[in-house]
Amino acid sequence: MRIDVLTLFPAMLDGFLSESMLGRAQEAALLEINVRNVRDWAVDKHRTTDDRPFGGGAGMVMRCEPVFAAIEAVQTPGCRRIYLPPDGAPFTAAKAEELSRQQHLVLLSGHYEGIDQRIRDTVIDEEISIGDYVLTNGTLAAAVVIDALARFIPGVLGEEKSLTHESFTRKLLDFPQYTRPAEYRGMSVPEVLLSGNHTAIEKWRTVEQERKTRQVRPDLLK
Ligand SMILES: C[S@@+](CC[C@H](N)C(=O)[O-])C[C@H]1O[C@@H](n2cnc3c(N)ncnc32)[C@H](O)[C@@H]1O
């Protein structure tokens, strides 16, 4: 799978993309990620990418020319061009899984007050928000989308089965996890986890998942 990220702040992704599972996924050619600086497509001598909003108001808006040129330079037939704004559709595990099956994604990060509406109207296929809050720019949002979808690409996680019990996979949150030592500062690991009885362990985990989901995210059970 190929992903092109269009941003004004490519350096924000340097460490993120080279570490851990994403770094290994690229080394194994499961994922190709290209980070492009939208400023490289600026058309004027000052290489500006933003201008004042028509109609007045605070802030600046990203201009059409560099963004259209950047998208047109990287897009391929059938690719999905995604803008990341706070007023997009909420990002979910189901969306991450769906995106992981695409051949090529273009992720556009905005800045300032956002981007010229004509970009959204013509060269964007989908808009995704990572939550009900406002970031200073969309680069971290692109990172969140890449990280979440990469986990669904076969081979990216060492152990495929680690996805099956995870939060949201079955509309349930995850169960509590423990590791050695079995006793730490007077706190013991639940007895059932040390029993070796796999049926009892599965049952305990399901009960814990339901308890946690009821307590923290009752909306998932509806
Ligand atoms: C300061 S925000 C623009 C906010 C815009 N004026 C509004 O109120 O909807 C600048 C950029 O950050 C990114 N961004 C901010 N919040 C985001 C969120 N919750 N999800 C995804 N991207 C976000 C978008 O790419 C946006 O263009």
> Do 40 and 76 have their domain in common?
yes
**C-beta neighbour count of 74 within 10 angstroms:** 17
Q: Decide if 156 is inside a domain.
A: no
Q: What is the pTM of this model?
A: 0.94
Q: Is 187 in the pocket of ligand 1 (CB under 6 A)?
A: no
Alpha helices in the chain (DSSP H): 14-18, 20-27, 64-74, 93-100, 117-122, 139-150, 198-216
CA of 158 to the centre of ligand 1 (A): 33
Q: Decide if 88 is inside a domain.
A: yes
Q: Decide if 158 is inside a domain.
A: no
> Do 76 and 139 have their domain in common?
yes
Q: Is 62 in the pocket of ligand 1 (CB under 6 A)?
A: no
* Boundary (domain end) residue, out of 150, 182, 204: 150
Helices (H) and strands (E) in the chain, counts: 7, 10
Range of the structural domain that residue 175 is part of: 164-221
CA of 142 to the centre of ligand 1 (A): 11
Please report how many Cα atoms fall inside a 13 Å half-sphere around the Cα of residue 49, on the Cβ side.
23
pLDDT in tens, the chain (222 residues): 999 999 999 999 999 999 999 999 999 999 999 999 999 999 999 999 999 999 999 999 999 999 999 999 999 999 999 999 999 999 999 999 999 999 999 999 999 999 999 999 999 999 999 999 999 999 999 999 999 999 999 999 986 656 766 888 788 999 999 999 999 999 999 999 999 999 999 999 999 999 999 999 999 998
> Do 36 and 134 have their domain in common?
yes
Question: How many structural domains is the chain composed of?
Answer: 2
Q: Point out the ligand 1 atom lying closest to the alpha carbon of residue 62.
A: 27
> Do 30 and 91 have their domain in common?
yes
Report the CATH number at residue 175.
1.10.1270.20
Q: Strand, coil or helix: what is 49?
A: coil
> Do 98 and 129 have their domain in common?
yes
DSSP string covering 103-147, please? SEEEEEE--TT-B-HHHHHHS-SEEEESSSS--SSSHHHHHHHHH
Of all protein residues, whose CA lies closest to atom 4 belonging to ligand 1?
A: 113
